[in-house]
Structure 1
Amino acid sequence: MYQEERLIGILQFLKENRRISIDQMCEMFDISRDTARRDLVKLEDRKAIVRTRGGAILPRTHTTIQDYSHRLKTVSFEKQQIGKKAASFIRPGDKIILDTSTTVQACANQIRPMDVTVITNSIHQAEILSNVESVSIQLLGGFLQKEHQFLYGASVIERVKSYHVDQAFIGVVGISESGLSIAHEEDGMVKRNMIKQAEQVIVLADHTKFGVTEFFTFAELEDVDVIITDQLPDEEFQQKLQEHHVDLIVTEEEGSDLWT
């Protein structure tokens, strides 16, 4: 097999499996370890891979996080469905936390008039729910992040620590084996403490978030109780969720149930 054919095979394997080892390359292509290393050097020169100790991974692609007002205009049908399913978890008398994400806002939009206490650091979530009868709102005060319209800082974190809630609804930019991640550390620190104060942690994440690791990791998979999404992740990640006892709900599947 020519080198170019192997390089194509390596990239295809990486797209499907995220990483490849030199031992796997030797077995797949019946080549020596030196030849495998030369193939990786060639791909690295083309900026097609990132070499690791003993193999390679695909280079990370960074998603540009648009400002909040723009993201509100592009809330997808999938996110709306995720938000609808999340809102169905809320019962009269519940005390809940809503974070700042647009997917969680899709949940806020679906909350019906009932006796519920909502704690949030999102200007938008508070504004939406201020028009919903019987919903009590605790807006966490702190520094205002103007671009993305959330409140953060030591005062927000200290206030969060004073509450104990039934559920925390959390959005992410990425969810992978490394855990839950977000682009802004100040937002992530607040989310981290929100999770600690909840009996049940419900993560809202459309399928594009799976396999992504962003700048700041604020929680591990073991911190999550439920993930609501629109499509199943790959089998490897499903297995990882099962190992951490995370329940998965897929909105596109009619009558989909929790699995553990």
Structure 2
Amino acid sequence: MYQEERLIGILNYLQEHQRISIEDICKVFEVSRDTARRDLVKLEENRSIIRTRGGAILPSLTKEVLNYEQRLLDEPKGKKEIGRLAASLIKNNEYLIMDASTTVQFLAEHISTQNNIVVTNSIDIADILSKKDTLSIHLLGGLFNSTHRYIYGAKAIEMLADYNADKLFLGTCGITQDGLSIPDSEEASLMKEMIRRVDQVIVLADSTKFGRKLFQNVCGWDRVDILITDKEPNDQLIETLNLHEVDIMLVQGATNDG
């Protein structure tokens, strides 16, 4: 087996088991301890792992997030099906808040109910919803982030505080047992206010978000009612979700990851 193949295998092992030892590498890949150490050095140089005494773990903090257009193209099938399932939870005449995530944009495309009032900080979601005749749209004002295409800042939070709604549809960049996280503190402040304004919080996230932790915490699982995703979480996360009575909804054809 070539080194590049082993490196991929080591990362796959870490995704499943969270840590790997020199002995594990020797046993699984049938290599010497010196070869195992060289593999870990290479992965560390690529910033793929953090070396520990006798082995390695995956970095717990994710620092890179794709821009909005790139995220729209990333795993589109899973996101579209999550959006479709989320749209089925909406009833006529409900008041809704939608954040500016790409998965929530796919939800907006699938809304077919009547007489909903929607508050959002996303110009793209507002544009999609504007083509649906029976919806009323309240677009928050404030500063505009052109990279991730959302409106944020003190003015947006001030406007949001005037609203109350039935449901919040929320995306996230990271999901761990601690809850939801994103890279930007300004956006997180707005999302926290969104959570305060609604009766029910529904998180839309594909399985690539599992195990990722970013700089800014948004909320713990005690504030979430439903998680809609495309793959069953691992046993540890399921246990945490059950503890906080979070309903897990899987899209059709979802696979078991635990």
TM above 0.5, one fold? yes
Is contact 1:113–1:133 with CA below 8 Å preserved after alignment?
no
Residue 59 of structure 1 and its aligned partner are, at CA, apart by 2.2
| Cα distance in 2, alignment partners of residues 80 and 45 from structure 1 | 37
Residues 19 and 70 of structure 1: CA distance in aligned 2, closer, same or farther (over 3 Å): closer
The gaps in structure 2 that reach 5 residues or longer are 1-9, 24-36
Residue type at the aligned position of 1:211: G
Residue 159 of structure 1 and its aligned partner are, at CA, apart by 1.4
Residue 189 of structure 1 and its aligned partner are, at CA, apart by 1.2
| Cα distance in 1, alignment partners of residues 42 and 135 from structure 2 | 57
Residue 56 of structure 1 and its aligned partner are, at CA, apart by 7.0
Residue 222 of structure 1 and its aligned partner are, at CA, apart by 1.1
Partner of 2:50: 49
SS class of match (2:114): coil
Residues 117 and 217 of structure 1: CA distance in aligned 2, closer, same or farther (over 3 Å): same
Partner of 2:186: 186
Residue 147 of structure 1 and its aligned partner are, at CA, apart by 1.4
Partner of 1:233: 233
Instruction: Describe the superposition over 1:113-158 as per-residue Cα deviations: whole angstroms up to 9, x where unpaired.
Output: 5100000000001000011011000001000111111110011112
SS class of match (1:240): helix
Partner of 1:106: 106
SS class of match (1:231): strand
Is contact 1:140–1:156 with CA below 8 Å preserved after alignment?
yes
Partner of 1:78: 78
Residue type at the aligned position of 1:152: Y
Residue 49 of structure 1 and its aligned partner are, at CA, apart by 3.1
Is contact 1:178–1:213 with CA below 8 Å preserved after alignment?
no
Partner of 2:91: 91
Is contact 2:181–2:214 with CA below 8 Å preserved after alignment?
yes
| Cα distance in 2, alignment partners of residues 135 and 12 from structure 1 | 45
Matches within 5 A, 1:1-260: 15-18=15-18, 47=44, 48-49=49-50, 51=52, 57-60=57-60, 62=62, 64-74=64-74, 76-112=76-112, 114-253=114-253
* TM-score normalised according to structure 1 size: 0.78
Is contact 2:181–2:219 with CA below 8 Å preserved after alignment?
yes
Instruction: Describe the superposition over 1:150-197 as per-residue Cα deviations: whole angstroms up to 9, x where unpaired.
Output: 110011112112211100000000110121011222111111110111
| Cα distance in 2, alignment partners of residues 49 and 70 from structure 1 | 27
Residue type at the aligned position of 1:89: L
Runs of 4+ in 1 over 6 A off after TM superposition: 10-13, 43-46
Residue type at the aligned position of 2:147: E
Is contact 1:50–1:59 with CA below 8 Å preserved after alignment?
no
Cα-Cα RMSD: 3.1
Residue 50 of structure 1 and its aligned partner are, at CA, apart by 5.0
Residue 13 of structure 1 and its aligned partner are, at CA, apart by 7.5
Residue 62 of structure 1 and its aligned partner are, at CA, apart by 3.3
| Cα distance in 2, alignment partners of residues 133 and 161 from structure 1 | 26
Residues 165 and 13 of structure 1: CA distance in aligned 2, closer, same or farther (over 3 Å): same
